A and B are shown apart, each in its own frame.
Chain A
């Protein structure tokens, strides 16, 4: 592991650790409103100031980071499992199954990712509880983000199906589900693992995009998307630079993921 990757790992661990310690670092919580100090600049009480309704920005950044960093991996796990199921099985079965599965993935891939996301998110209930909105947002990312991974897995499973060891296993009488679970699936693990990790930063960025467009996590629950929405009201960059902290944190985290995953991307391709 080179120096940059070690540094990126340390940054990620630090950010995850801080977000998990949000209850101790910001005991007042993300929703408490200090009405007497609305839109306040950074101070000893509020390290990153407060938002327009007096909520402590530091607390919201910590809790928002926790939500994004815990739920993006959950969505990535869901999308990887779906990709394994659809792509892996289609590639293993081959023929019409593979053609059918790839036609479905082509249909999803022919639509720009953000267009697909806003269409599907908009048809879901918008006036839901904050907790439900978090679940809906990340569940949707997981349910729609499997297509490109399924394509890679379909082709890998297809080449495994024709490999010597699978043919030999088949000749020894191992067939069907047993052959898939014991011989094909373990060999898909490196690709599945890579797809899982590279999905996490992609889903974090997607949630941020949806949040800024008003289709992400509902208020008062914080997420990186809803925190970045604050930038919409800015008049100049120098005016309130502390409002850029969520953006800087997001860029640092996603960059750290990219550095850690540079090897995984080669496997996934």
Chain B
């Protein structure tokens, strides 16, 4: 009985080692061999099966969008710095702090609109089905997180109530 138990435990340990070892080795090997070059657009090419011409067009759009995005981000960062200075010096929410919060929100909204506009343009540069899938995925990845947070805070499960 005791011998059988030792055999069973040993076999389980050996089995776990074989599975775990082969899992880790193949995972690392796949990550090493399939790692894509440090190109922002490599994911688009593989995920949406883009041709060279489509990718070239999208790259043009991408490179045109990046400076605008960086500019907006710099503005938001600057406003956030100003807000931190105001909030750091006072013990309550002043009118000046509220103004800065509104300015940051406006900049974020502007930036989001610009981002969505870029997603639409990129989606249009793809074959129609892939473009729709791209747009849906990007909306979910960029706006979905906020929606989830808002839903969880309001206790709304996403179901609409019809009266």
- A-B complex is real: no
> Which residues of B pack against A, CB within 8 Å?
none
